[in-house]
Amino acid sequence: MFQDKRWLKREDILQFVLARKRQSGGFAMTPLLPATLEDTYHAVKILKILAHPIPSSTKAYIASLRWSDYYLPKNLYQLAILYQAMEQVLPTKELSETIRCILKWKKLSLEHLTYLARLLKLLNLGMLKATLCQRISFDRWRVLKELYHIMDCTQVCHISLPQKAASWVKQCQNGDGGFGFMPHTSSFLENTYYALKLMLYLKTKPENIRQCRQFIRYCYVSSRGGFARSPGGVVLLESTYYGLSALKMLEIAF
């Protein structure tokens, strides 16, 4: 990834990420804020892309996190992925019971359903798939993130995305190469990541790959060693994960 991109330096990104590691071993949005599960999740995902080992203090931080402190599907999934990164055994029985309880909630957002679907796939809990799939509308979305979430659910529910999805995603690309929330809206790095993931799944590609690469490059802040949501924006761990992942997809799949 770094050999043919002189503007992108592994050492600088690594420095940016590790500067956000707190004394507890967890990672924070900035060096001055306390560590959070979500920032630690993105930091560990970046370290994996960079082929850098997880610090021992970070492993200790992850091991100290109690499953009982989390109940939102997104947080449960992130903690599960962190456990996997440390090659720790997941508490499948306890998680299964938690998921059963969550599926009884009267209101579940599409994001909740998506992370539940990911957990079911991760834990191989096929007996709960039918309950989950009954609660998802597969042909309605407003923004790229929603369609990206639906894509995750289709893989668990074994349902194809509507035919209109591929052309709609392509229409979200702007002249600057990035993708907006929907057609004719401003480009952001997370939307570009969602679009590339969707096109990879739909076996299609962006109309303008060169400009897409250029947009991602402009989101990189070389003086900080990380990516922002858009050119000139604030550098974040989450955006840096999206930027590196998007570049990796463009390099491998398109």
Could you tell me the residue ranges of all domains in the chain? Answer: 10-252
Three-state secondary structure readout of 3-24: CCCCCCCHHHHHHHHHCCECCC
Strands (E), the chain: 220-221, 226-227
Mean pLDDT in residue range 90-117: 94
Q: For 221-253, what is each residue's pLDDT tens digit?
A: 999 999 999 999 999 999 999 999 999 999 988
64-96 tens-digit pLDDT: 999 999 999 999 999 999 999 999 999 999 999
Q: Which fold would CATH assign to domain 10-252?
A: Glycosyltransferase (1.50.10)
